[in-house]
Structure 1
Amino acid sequence: MAATGLLDIVEALADRTMSDEVRRIQVEFARLRRENEALKAERKSLLVELEQASTTTATRATCPPPAPAVSSAMPQMGELLEEFSFLQANLNHCARAQDLFLQSLAQWQVHVAVACEPYFVPPHSNWAGDLDGSVAVVVRMDAGPPLIVVERGPGYVVVSWREYTIVGVYFSPNRSLAEFETFLDSVRAAVSRRSPGSVLVLGDFNAKSRAWGCPVTDGRGEAVQVWGLLSGLSLLNLGTVHTCVRHNGGSIVDLSFATPAVARRVVGWRVEEDVETLSDHLYIRFEVSPPSGGALSGQRPVSTFPRWNLGRLDKELAEEAAIVHRWFAPRTEEGADTEVLAGRMHTILTEVCDSAMPRARRRPPRKSVYWWTPEIAELRQLANGARRAHARCRTRNRRAPDREGAEAELAELREQYRAAKRALQLCTLSSATGRGRTARRGVVGLLRVSGGRLRPGGTEAARGQKLPREAGDWLSPCVTVAVVGRSRCAWE
């Protein structure tokens, strides 16, 4: 009986102790909730004070000059200005030349490129072509905002990208001077509609003038000079390096123009003489520096604000971290500086976010297309060397006393260069078509290799034919090559 009474007393004491502990926990939780609400109210009042302080400062300022309107494409607060890289090319309607063009775009981290006579203009947001398919503007996929097509016409396309307006142009050398002048009037009207903005006009005009290094000036060259003067554009071309190189000579027909404000910021305009393009035109590259300071060349825009992965946010952990910071946060004094309060709030919010979710990290940019291989890179280097040797020999032949021997050496080097180009074409064809391009564009023709030369094979007799074994180690001797896009390809 005594034992039962003692047990009842112990149980009553235990219940009372547990009730006291639960009550203490509830009181502590209520206190933490009140402190959390007070912290939110204090944060709201701090933001109101900051807004009022900025408004008061702006009101007391002494009549500053009106700030120019900032385009939505301009870098926002917290983002450093960047130096942008541009590329010009004429692909001569060649599929393999377009493949190398895209690889160069990725390898050099070019932001914007203009391709004249492209093999194919894909329906992607980073491509914009004219009405005839003779010129296209392309931006790298990870280079920022997509292109905005402003205007299209026969032989020209106008796009907007960030704060720049890029006009890609191409005019055939087979058309008359009167048609060329009409074409220039259309481009001039398109440029004037975008003035006084940052405009670049890039493309193949097929015009010659001493103003950009040609030995003679033709009618088109004079028309382009007048057009550039009336359009208020500055010529960017420097030097006398040929932009179009053939076996019997070369010319300078690829031109770059820009408005004076942009032309003053253009650096490093050059013709890439030592890069194989698989086209008779060479690449043109240049950079445009930011208006005032900015990032170094080749860098991506860097945000000064931290970024977090919101998909992995732990809300409970964020609330707990805020409560802990509230416990140890110093009290706000009367008349405290708003800059100090803002810095304190920035530090607290950063630490809370770091506790509740990981930081977001950018993926490093890809410097090659998906089908690029070390074998293709090696073959391109060999083709570059063969091109340089052939060009130097041709220059020496102009003043060589033994013309017959010089011509024989030049013919041998020309064959070596053609063989290097042929090997590069075959390897690029094998890699690009063997890794998924066919499924994306759709098959429209079959091509077969014979004697080292690629020929259209759209007839029934050509379909299903095997590649000959002399095609080399770059292609399987028993493979049918399906080429997509257009059924034409300029190899030589």
Structure 2
Amino acid sequence: MQTVREQKIDLVLLSEPYKHLNGQPWETDSTTKAVIWSCGKLPFQGVVNNGNAGFIAASVDGIRFYSCYASPSLTIVDFTDFLDRLIEDAKQYYPVAIAGDFNAWAVEWGSKLTNARGKEVLEAFSTLDVVLLNSGDTPTYNKGDASSIVDLTFVSSSLIRGNYHWRVMDLYTVSDHNAILWEVSIDKNPRRPAKKLDVTGWKVKSFDPNTFVAALNDEPITTGSAEEKIKNLMKRVTQACDTCMPRKRGMNQRPPVHWWNDHISSLRKESLKKRRISQRGYRRPNSAELVAEYKSARRCLNKAIKDSKRISGKSSLTMWTRTCGDDLTRW
């Protein structure tokens, strides 16, 4: 607490605190391992999401803050589930700041190698408009001769348009983790980025050929010039790719295709989850069962896509026919 007062800190995000404070604006997740402490003059705004295990979320001064803790004892499946829940919640808010102990390694934040957890973190956060604040190679964790960089800070791109900094502090703490001080600029009128980028690409390792075939509109293109036909074809391919693969980081967010709905979105998440589980469990005794579950989830997704496209196609045809009929009546 003395360090907080000396540094004039507004907000503290803690992982595995050695004790909890009473009578303070102090909120924890369901495991009490992730904490947000509003120690300045800025109160919590709106609803505090503390029902999840692994992260606690609260809005302060227009920013949605997340304090996270992923125990090293989590299996890769449980770790992926934690990330899925975190990202799904963060997609509902803007701007966001996400920090905590992920117990994950990746060369992108200074580790010597990238492990399975690091890959999952990179893939999960690539779906958000966030940047990694970590810089340099100073360890955030030290215990004896062992050290690592496992404490990460991600913030929305709008929060680094002005002055910002991030650094590991050389301060005494009772923890094996070092204190990290970071500061961002607050844009009172934040907007999600709408800048179009020239680069187009997808996370190809998630490519599912069966879902791609199901999503691709294969009706013949019979009208328009050669150039228009090419544009139409590329639009169809792009929409099919969006259905079966997440886009790379920094991609321009496009509206979903007309036949997309929440049910298909839920089925795709379930299919991708089953796929990850089956891939990681190929050495387990029940590997055949995991593969069968994935194939079943994929079949459900493909069927839902085909059904929605058929129904949406009929709806679009009816609307188009009525419009043409009105025009013919007027003329």
TM range (shorter): 0.5 to 0.7
* Corresponding residue number in structure 1 for 2:87: 188
Compute the displacement of 1:121 (Å).
Answer: 3.0
State the alpha-carbon separation in 1 of the partners of residues 48 and 96 from structure 2. 13
* Corresponding residue number in structure 1 for 2:43: 145
Kindly indicate whether the alpha-carbon contact (under 8 Å) linking 2:159 and 2:186 is maintained by their aligned counterparts in 1: no
Compute the displacement of 1:119 (Å).
Answer: 2.5
Aligned counterpart in structure 2 of residue 168 of structure 1, from 58, 67, 72: 67
Compute the displacement of 1:224 (Å).
Answer: 0.3
* Corresponding residue number in structure 1 for 2:145: 248
Is 1:131 equivalent to 2:30 in the alignment? Answer: yes
* Corresponding residue number in structure 2 for 1:199: 96
Kindly indicate whether the alpha-carbon contact (under 8 Å) linking 1:127 and 1:147 is maintained by their aligned counterparts in 2: no
Compute the displacement of 1:149 (Å).
Answer: 4.1
Alignment CA distance shift 1:176-1:265 (3 Å): farther
Q: Deviations over 1:295-331 (max 9, x none)?
A: xxxxxxxxxxxxxxxxxxxxxxxxxxxxxxxxxxxxx
* Counterparts of residues 310-349 of structure 1 (less than 5 Å): none
Compute the displacement of 1:223 (Å).
Answer: 0.4
SS at match of 1:173: coil
Q: Deviations over 1:140-197 (max 9, x none)?
A: 1x42334544312101111011111101110000111111001000000110121xx2
Q: Deviations over 1:224-259 (max 9, x none)?
A: 000110123211100111000111220000000011
TM-score, normalised via structure 1 length: 0.37
Is 1:211 equivalent to 2:116 in the alignment? Answer: no
* Corresponding residue number in structure 2 for 1:120: 19
Q: Deviations over 1:199-236 (max 9, x none)?
A: 10010000000000000100000000001101232111
SS at match of 1:179: helix
Gaps of 5+ in 1: 1-101, 293-492
- One-letter amino acid matched to 1:151: N
Kindly indicate whether the alpha-carbon contact (under 8 Å) linking 2:161 and 2:185 is maintained by their aligned counterparts in 1: no
State the alpha-carbon separation in 1 of the partners of residues 160 and 24 from structure 2. 27
TM-score, normalised via structure 2 length: 0.54
State the alpha-carbon separation in 2 of the partners of residues 266 and 221 from structure 1. 28
State the alpha-carbon separation in 1 of the partners of residues 13 and 46 from structure 2. 15
Structure 1 runs of 4+ off > 6 angstroms?
Answer: none
Alignment CA distance shift 1:257-1:266 (3 Å): farther
Q: Relative contact order (alpha carbons < 8 A, sep ≥ 6): 1 or 2 greater?
A: 1
In terms of Rg, which structure is larger?
1
SS at match of 1:124: coil
Gaps of 5+ in 2: 189-331
* Corresponding residue number in structure 2 for 1:270: 167
* Corresponding residue number in structure 2 for 1:289: 185
* Corresponding residue number in structure 2 for 1:110: 9
Q: Percent identity?
A: 29
State the alpha-carbon separation in 2 of the partners of residues 149 and 129 from structure 1. 13
State the alpha-carbon separation in 1 of the partners of residues 158 and 164 from structure 2. 13
State the alpha-carbon separation in 2 of the partners of residues 244 and 227 from structure 1. 23
Aligned counterpart in structure 2 of residue 220 of structure 1, from 79, 96, 117: 117
- One-letter amino acid matched to 1:108: Q
SS at match of 2:126: helix
SS at match of 2:117: helix
Q: Deviations over 1:14-45 (max 9, x none)?
A: xxxxxxxxxxxxxxxxxxxxxxxxxxxxxxxx
